[in-house]
Amino acid sequence: MPALYPKMRERPEEFRLNPRWPTFHELLASALGGRQLYPKYVDMYLEPDGYPESLSSIEWNNELGRMVYSFPASINRECWRSTRQGFYVIPPVSTSLLVYQRSHRNRASACELATEDGYWAHSPQLNRDYSGRISAYWANTGGGDYTYVDSRGDIVTFYRWHGVGVRYTPLAQCIWNGTIVARSSRTSGSPRKFVRLILGKAENSLDGFIADVLVWQGVISLEIMKAVQDPSNVDLRVGGVPLILPPRRRFWPVVSEQAIPKMVPWHLFQQVSA
């Protein structure tokens, strides 16, 4: 018997999300680089902000076999921002994504969940002070207070894909390639709710790519983080169950009057077979 979910070698431009995925119901938002057909409520409706018309903000990546968000070195502060309204979420929250950088860029927030007043709410940050370290930031209720923690330096390496994520448990934890590399020892009040998703924000350009952004309600296990941060995991499967499914087929076999099998569009099926 063939596998229920055959593994994908490449992710189609159009796809569906699988409601049977182990943490599907904890999934708040996703940015997966294609046209997400179902369900749409976890799509953050991302749009490029400030890109010149001559530059492509999303492109096919042969190494990953999927579409990725592009941040060329020539842009300055351009990023992707969510446009959906009414996205209010209270912690705890977990985020995960893949990131690829070509050079040191100071304070590159790979995936930022922002508050109403525009403050960091939840952000894995790369290369703070050009140190090669990973940082986890979290805004708290006490005015401008925030919790942050740094990993050791020189973790970030270039010209290769890495998985990065943050969990707030309520202590901030920074995850790199499925492993906790830093954790805070205290908090500064209760974390604020966030309202917007921003990708690739930096003091200049991220100078690289971002892919497979996932945001969950709750504290997601390290086993799941490690699975989705594997660059070879095209369909984001966990325990053999993929998050990404191909679009439903739109052509159906029909027998004509001459008994010759045909393939016709699904919307004509009723007319042909009537």
Q: Tokens 């992710």 correspond to what residue?
A: 11
Token digits of residue 196: 């917007």
Q: Closest Cα partner for 218 from 163, 170, 157?
A: 170
Token digits of residue 259: 């008994």
Instruction: Give the model's pLDDT for residue 270.
Output: 43
Instruction: Give the model's pLDDT for residue 11.
Output: 92
Residue 161 in contact with residue 66, Cβ under 8 Å? no
Measured distance CA(212)–CA(69) in Å, rounded: 9
Q: Tokens 């708290």 correspond to what residue?
A: 140
Please write down the long-range contacts of 24-29, taking CB distance under 8 Å and 24 or more positions apart: 24/243, 26/216, 26/217, 26/218, 26/220, 27/214, 27/215, 27/216, 28/89, 28/93, 28/215, 28/216, 28/217, 29/82, 29/87, 29/197, 29/213, 29/214, 29/215
Instruction: Give the model's pLDDT for residue 191.
Output: 62
Measured distance CA(271)–CA(166) in Å, rounded: 53
Q: Is residue 106 part of a domain?
A: yes
Q: Is residue 155 part of a domain?
A: yes
Instruction: Give the model's pLDDT for residue 274.
Output: 40
Q: Is residue 136 part of a domain?
A: yes
Residue 38 in contact with residue 16, Cβ under 8 Å? yes
Per-residue CA distances from 234 to 140, 223, 245 (Å)? 35, 17, 11
Q: Is residue 270 part of a domain?
A: no
- Which residues of the chain, if any, have pLDDT below 70? 1-3, 35-56, 76-78, 81-89, 116-122, 127-130, 139-147, 187-193, 195, 202-204, 248-274
Instruction: Give the model's pLDDT for residue 249.
Output: 58
Number of folded domains in the chain?
Answer: 1
Q: What is the CATH number of the domain that holds 231?
A: 2.60.120.200
The phi and psi torsions of 269 (rounded to 5 degrees) equal: -60, -45
Measured distance CA(16)–CA(4) in Å, rounded: 16
Token digits of residue 163: 């998985």
The phi and psi torsions of 101 (rounded to 5 degrees) equal: -120, 150
Token digits of residue 227: 């699975």
Q: Is residue 258 part of a domain?
A: no
Q: What is the pTM of this model?
A: 0.81
Q: Is residue 256 part of a domain?
A: no
Instruction: Give the model's pLDDT for residue 272.
Output: 41
| 177: containing domain | 14-246
HSE toward the beta carbon, residue 191, CA cutoff 13 A: 27
Measured distance CA(221)–CA(91) in Å, rounded: 16
Instruction: Give the model's pLDDT for residue 267.
Output: 47
Instruction: Give the model's pLDDT for residue 1.
Output: 38
Q: Is residue 55 part of a domain?
A: yes
Q: Closest Cα partner for 124 from 137, 133, 115, 113?
A: 137
What are the pLDDT digits (tens) for 138-179?
Answer: 766 655 566 677 888 778 889 999 999 888 777 788 899 999
Residue 96 in contact with residue 75, Cβ under 8 Å? no
Q: Is residue 255 part of a domain?
A: no
| Strand, coil or helix: 138 | strand
Instruction: Give the model's pLDDT for residue 10.
Output: 93
Q: Tokens 């599907």 correspond to what residue?
A: 24
